[in-house]
Structure 1
Amino acid sequence: MRDVKTLIEQMTLEEKAGLCSGDNFWRTKAVERLGIPAINLADGPHGLRAQGEEQDHLGVNDSRPATCFPTAAGLASSWSVERLEQLGAALGDEARAEGLHVVLGPGANIKRSPLCGRNFEYFSEDPLLSSQLAAAHIRGTQSRGVGSSLKHFAANNQEHRRMSVDARIDERTLREIYLASFEHAVKEAHPWTVMCAYNRLNGDYCSEHQRLLTDILRDEWGFEGFVVSDWGAVNERVSGLEAGMELEMPAPVGERDAQIAAAVREGRVEEAVLDQAVERLLRIIFKAHDARPEHAAFDAEAHHQLARHIARESMVLLQNDGTLPLKNTQRVAVIGEFAERPRYQGGGSSHVNATRVETLLEALESRDARFNYLKGFEIDRDASDQQLEQDAATAAVHADVAVLCLGLPERHESEGYDRTHLNLPANQLTLIEAVTRVQPNTVVVLANGAPIAMPWAGQVNAILEGYLGGQAIGAALADLLYGEVSPSGKLAETFPQRLEDNPVHLNFPGQGDVVNYGEGIFVGYRYHDTHDVAPLFPFGHGLSYARFDYASLTLSADTFDGQDTLTVGVDITNSGDRKASEIVQLYLSDQTQTVPVAAQALRGFDRVTLAPGETSRVELVLTRRDFCWYDAERADWRMPTGTFEVRIGASSRDIRLTQRLEVQGDATPLPVIDRNTLLGDLKAHDGAVRVLREHLADIADELPMLNALMGREGSDDLMNAMGHYLPLRAIISFSSFTEARLERLLKDLETLASP
């Protein structure tokens, strides 16, 4: 066991400052004279990008072969904690074999807008689902003695001006949506590192955000690892160190080290601050080296098959009139260049050099399917090719069914820039028209990292969302198209009918270097469900080749006070004729309306696999936090009192069972008391009502607007409304009440708020 504090005492100031930045793009510095080794980091949310000596950030130079798993957009659609742990463990195995110590990922940023170019690398628009899956990913990787770096903390929700934009977010929205997407993963999975984001948050760069990196991440959530910058995210290095950002990457050619050392020498920064950063770094550095086995390897074929199983559980059957699954006897026209040149991963820093890529054409050939392939369009251009379309239509006429392989080319969505629309390329739209005009049985298979608009959905029989399915995408698609397994993925994001239906449309990507999160907590389905804006496909939606029945919803108690937990049980029966998986979703609807809330919010989920005719009892546990909203004024989570509705569904728009629940929440706090406090804001507090009645009893006849407050009959809506919004000071204007009496009233009300 190394004595880290003794080591720090033996280090020079320059050595300590140097440890806080990289040696090159992917490796930290070593201090050989003291036996302090370097650690190696690499991109890897869905596959490693380990490079040799010719290192770069965006993958211009090839990385060593690694398994390319589905990207986070697809992974989240599996809603499978088990699969995410398996994937994380596989990444850990490959990292050990490559001599890596930290994998940069997963990404837990909220999908605020479907236009974000990096949405393929993030899990969900919902913070509960995002954080639960991120935690599973981290647990899997770190179970192999390899660290995870949870990213990008926080509010990195667009690529446009990502290194300078200031995300302006109110405190309640920040806590309930954008920080909640990270919180569970930090508290429950304990990532070795957290990566700070490029952007600013409410004025401060995330790389030097004291409140974000220290007050919340460490002091509130208990994070014990080190914070690493996103590559090139550092603004002011010394400020970043003081805020809690320990490691800057990549190597800044020594200048930043000198800035830190100078700040300590000149007394601008206490050396204890630097020592604390070095201690955090050393504990992870030694932990990583102590966990590394002497000989490590991985089974590339086993990982390829794992990628296949994960991919087929991540794909979502959006629409189906019975055309799917296909039969081996059918003649199939496979149309679209993605069938031979699959888009199976996103663009940018997460680009993986796959060990091998299995195309749909190869998978169909291996199963002796009866098919004919037509290119249909060119991936590398958007303009239509009439000859390709004509050939495709001719082939479709002579087939029993046409399978169109469509999607977004990498140039349409990538790290570094955002999309400007939701449409497929023009040549694919004209291809859909050409084929559906002559073939009544048409299936669309999609390859994309984020939602697209589908004005053509009514023209086709089935739509299979393949997302970016990793290197085994072809085999996974064939498994689903031909019914080897039933589709089981469900959307982890809302597909809007059009871009204008998205709640952030008017606030994205902002103006200049400022983006206002004006939609507040109403992101994704929270907006669609609350404002009754019909989506194209709702959050949680996904079809199956089986049918599932929901029955016998029970709650472990009729009331809930937050002191213990509440168990929600439901029976799920597979009433179909094949084995299949269902994702059961629990939503809570806060009907107290204590504050503006979404119509419902996801508070639990489970994935259950059932044989034909089998029934399983699914139990989901709710805690106090699930019922709370964040009170920014008091900097605390508050549980309201009143009625909630527990909803169990197959999607946010397919609620099968409901049950009401009475909640005994927190005592209503008094507002800040001054002469401008409204009467209506005091009426929810019994003590305040008592004080008001005592002070105002003798003038009640002068003010009919006090009737409701005084509990009198005969008050009308106008008087009630005027009384509700009457400031205390205005009582003087409408009655014989005096300033002296108002002062005495305020003192008595303030006494109620005193501990």
Structure 2
Amino acid sequence: MFSIRILSLATTALVALVGVSNTQNITSDTFFYGQSPPVYPSPIGTGTGNWSEAYKKAEAMVAQMTLDEKSNLTFGISSKTNGCSGNIPAIERLGFPGLCLQDAGNGVRATDFVNGYPSGLHVGASWNKDLAYKRALAMGGEFRSKGVNIVLGPVVGPLGRVSQGGRNWEGFSNDPYLSGSLVFETVRGIQENGVITSTKHFIGNEQETNRNPITNVAGQYVESISANIDDKSMHELYLWPFQDAVHAGTGNIMCSYNRLNNSHGCANSKTLNGLLKTELGFNGFVVSDWFAQHSGVSSALAGLDMAMPDSEGFWGSNLTTAIRNGSVPMSRLNDMATRIIASWYQMGQDNGYPTPGIGMPVDVLASHKAVNARNPSSKQVILDAAIEGHVLVKNVNNALPLKSPKLLSLFGYDAKAPDQNDPAAGFGSWIAINGTIISGGGSGANSPAYISAPFDALQEKAYQADTTILWDFINVNATANVDGASDACLVFINAFASEGFDRVGLHDDFSDALVNNIADQCSNTIVVIHNAGVRLVDQFIDHPNVTAVIFAHLPGQDSGRALVSLLYGDFSPSGKLPYSVPMNESAFGALLSPALPAAPYTLFPQDDFTEGIYIDYRAFDAQNITPRYEFGFGLSYTTFGYLNLRILARSGVSRNTYPTGLIREGGAEDLWDVITTVTADVKNTGAVDGAEVAQLYVGIPGGPIRQLRGFSKVHIQAGHTATVSFDLTRRDLSVWDVVVQQWKLQSGKYYIYVGTSSRILHLDGTLTI
């Protein structure tokens, strides 16, 4: 619980500007569209939980630092010795070697001798917590070997509110529970290597358009977009996965480019001091996104601890001046330094950690000492993760798996490897025309050791199986000829996305025409889509000759190898959609495209999140919109049956309306108490072994019809049965009380559903609290 002070005159004027006039609501924080209540002072970190020893060591070191040494910890410097995205200088006399910060959440970027892992969205489509942990553990080892102290990932913001958002692919899902569960495992896995995770982008960074201030064609300064989010939606959607990351012990949080209720993300005292450092009990430090610091004294007081890639004149000597003249109290600088050093100690980087940036050459094209970070044990993890993120959504008459085909015909620009060793090279604004994509673009892209493209893997399979392959990647329209003896025609298309711009649509006519033209000539047309976000399929999905469709997402460097193992039935598909696929764009309404500057705020663009918590399947359920493929949907080569739902209330657990526990990492400690355990039996009723993702949804009194609150992926042999179990915590069953400022356990009847997707729910029951 934290207090909110009376609004300053400047804030009151801003509130009037954006049309918020309910003073009672403003001061009680029940509704804060367009304005951000001030929360000061910035909390002094105390090192709760298992951070106690790290804080003691950090406080002792900081006590020996000069004013300049403390200040130098808070902003980045350029380096001539490494190619890290950001650097903090060493304090050699105290044995502190400095810090290397490096992209990104899907593998080490801009270097050699590392692996290209499946992207966040692909992991989300796997619905596999254990695999998310193993992937993170493997990636973390590579960051450590390269001398990276802080990995700039994972991503849980954007959450995926805007369907055409350019960075949605970097995160796991647009469902906060699924995203939170997977980021928890990712933080845990990476940090077990002693590498600090920078969970990002905090918060409301849901579009690329106008994410930063710009000067328009008229020479006018246009502010960054303001994501205006109400308190309930903030907690129940956008803050939720960050809460899981903090609960997992993330050492760093990266603040975002956008404004949040008209206050810059990296100078927002409400979100940094109030939500993150007070309500969630965050022990680590806050770093700015690159060039996202827009003020000096105010950003320091609001809770920013480190500016990257430098201070742009805001800090440095100006910060020490502000300390000396009392504009920023020494206690704030001490806290900034202590949080940074405590994170370094907490991960054990004071003991045997590689030299910062040792494996990050300044210029990878120049001669340099190679640091091979690849571990042979990672190979299986990379392949497994690639396999499990594929989602089969159509399979007519068991067109897949392929049955000893004699002749395969391949079409589409996405089948072959890119023309150069940049997986995002040659992209257009909506597709990557020059080859298959294994990740999106921008800072979230990675550096693959190789790319197994679909064409490469299929040729190898053809050699092994004595199959003939014909291909045409040049003729993309009706001039493409299909051999009449083809057993199947495979068409490869993609939907690209990148940091820096938002997608222009959710499908493109060029690719859809390619699919239809091949399907007109081939009675067994199989479509594979490498998609960096939602991709509509209604231009071709009902074509009678389109027999199978796979959302292949962004599988990393083993893309082709993973796909072929599924096409030929070595593994049964087990991925599920981490988003909904509607029948057309109109289903998304105002959440299709990014918000644009509009009168009367053309210079101060606003984006009111008036839909509240109703995004994706929550919105479709509430509006009775039937999607083409619902959230959680995915086919298998086998079938599963559900039976024996059991709802077991835990005895001896407090069912007080509000939590009463101490604030620990992630919030009140009793938020994580298990209130109820739900179990069910899942039987593999088909003829082949396979994995099923059993999903639990809860209808909370007064809330959406249903919300994901549990999932379990189990591999079941044909004819066998497995029991799945879901623990429902106090937080899972609560709503955010905007008046009391606490999570509130509702009284009444909860509806419990278990099934194979958000709309295929085989079992149901009730829980009364």
Shorter-chain TM-score category? Answer: 0.7 to 0.9
1:398 matches 2:485: yes
2:499 is aligned to 415
1:476 is aligned to 562
What is the alpha-carbon distance in structure 2 between the residues aligned to residue 245 and residue 629 of structure 1? 29
Residue of structure 1 aligned with 2:524, choices 441, 445, 454 = 441
1:312 matches 2:387: yes
1:272 matches 2:331: yes
What is the alpha-carbon distance in structure 2 between the residues aligned to residue 288 and residue 240 of structure 1? 29
Give the secondary-structure state (helix, strand or coil) at the position aligned to 1:394.
coil
1:107 is aligned to 155
Highest RCO, 1 vs 2 (Cα 8 Å, sep ≥ 6): 2
What is the alpha-carbon distance in structure 1 between the residues aligned to residue 351 and residue 195 of structure 2? 8
Quote how far apart the aligned CAs of 1:220 are. 1.6
Amino acid in structure 1 at the alignment position of 2:62: I
Quote how far apart the aligned CAs of 1:226 are. 0.8
Task: Pick closer, same or farther for the CA change 1:436–1:4 going to 2, 3 Å.
Answer: closer
Residue of structure 2 aligned with 1:548, choices 636, 640, 647 = 640
1:461 matches 2:558: no
TM-score relative to the length of structure 1: 0.81
Quote how far apart the aligned CAs of 1:388 are. 4.2
What is the alpha-carbon distance in structure 2 between the residues aligned to residue 531 and residue 291 of structure 1? 56
Whether the 8 Å CA contact 2:284–2:343 is kept in 1: the answer is yes
Give the secondary-structure state (helix, strand or coil) at the position aligned to 1:414.
coil
Residue of structure 2 aligned with 1:222, choices 277, 281, 286 = 281
1:358 matches 2:444: no
Amino acid in structure 2 at the alignment position of 1:228: V
What is the alpha-carbon distance in structure 1 between the residues aligned to residue 510 and residue 303 of structure 2? 50
Map 1:265-304 to 2 at 5 A.
265-286=324-345, 287-293=347-353, 298-304=373-379
What is the alpha-carbon distance in structure 2 between the residues aligned to residue 566 and residue 659 of structure 1? 13
Amino acid in structure 2 at the alignment position of 1:616: A
1:184 is aligned to 244
Map 1:51-90 to 2 at 5 A.
62-90=110-138
1:509 is aligned to 595
Whether the 8 Å CA contact 2:147–2:354 is kept in 1: the answer is no
2:67 is aligned to 13
What is the alpha-carbon distance in structure 2 between the residues aligned to residue 283 and residue 114 of structure 1? 38
2:655 is aligned to 562
Whether the 8 Å CA contact 2:502–2:594 is kept in 1: the answer is no
2:229 is aligned to 169
Gaps of 5+ in 1: 50-61, 378-386, 664-755
1:605 matches 2:689: no
Whether the 8 Å CA contact 2:297–2:327 is kept in 1: the answer is no
1:622 is aligned to 728
Task: Pick closer, same or farther for the CA change 1:546–1:143 going to 2, 3 Å.
Answer: same
Whether the 8 Å CA contact 1:145–1:291 is kept in 2: the answer is no
Between stretches 552-561 and 247-256, larger displacement belongs to: 552-561
1:655 matches 2:761: yes
Give the secondary-structure state (helix, strand or coil) at the position aligned to 1:367.
helix
1:233-280 Cα deviation digits (max 9, x unpaired) = 111132222122111110236652122111111111111110111111
1:246 matches 2:330: no
Give the secondary-structure state (helix, strand or coil) at the position aligned to 1:461.
strand
TM-score relative to the length of structure 2: 0.79
Quote how far apart the aligned CAs of 1:436 are. 1.1
Whether the 8 Å CA contact 2:650–2:675 is kept in 1: the answer is no
Amino acid in structure 2 at the alignment position of 1:200: R
Map 1:581-600 to 2 at 5 A.
581-590=691-700, 592-593=701-702, 597-600=703-706
1:427 is aligned to 510
What is the alpha-carbon distance in structure 2 between the residues aligned to residue 84 and residue 291 of structure 1? 27
User: Which structure has more helix as a fraction of its residues?
Assistant: 1
What is the alpha-carbon distance in structure 2 between the residues aligned to residue 160 and residue 288 of structure 1? 39
Give the secondary-structure state (helix, strand or coil) at the position aligned to 2:238.
helix
Quote how far apart the aligned CAs of 1:307 are. 1.4
Whether the 8 Å CA contact 1:547–1:575 is kept in 2: the answer is yes
Quote how far apart the aligned CAs of 1:390 are. 4.2
Amino acid in structure 2 at the alignment position of 1:45: G
2:615 is aligned to 523
1:464-515 Cα deviation digits (max 9, x unpaired) = 1110110000000001111110000001111122111015437842434211
1:199 matches 2:221: no
1:316-373 Cα deviation digits (max 9, x unpaired) = 0011111111122342111112111221111001222211111112212222352424
1:38 is aligned to 98
2:182 is aligned to 133
Whether the 8 Å CA contact 2:639–2:685 is kept in 1: the answer is yes
1:237 is aligned to 296
CA RMSD of the aligned region, Å? Answer: 2.1
Quote how far apart the aligned CAs of 1:452 are. 1.4
Residue of structure 1 aligned with 2:584, choices 484, 491, 498 = 498
2:107 is aligned to 47
Quote how far apart the aligned CAs of 1:34 are. 2.9
1:389 is aligned to 477
2:48 is aligned to none
What is the alpha-carbon distance in structure 1 between the residues aligned to residue 407 and residue 276 of structure 2? 57
User: Taking every aligned residue pair, what percent have the same amino acid on both sides?
Assistant: 32
Give the secondary-structure state (helix, strand or coil) at the position aligned to 2:235.
helix
What is the alpha-carbon distance in structure 2 between the residues aligned to residue 198 and residue 406 of structure 1? 32
What is the alpha-carbon distance in structure 2 between the residues aligned to residue 71 and residue 515 of structure 1? 28
Amino acid in structure 1 at the alignment position of 2:727: V
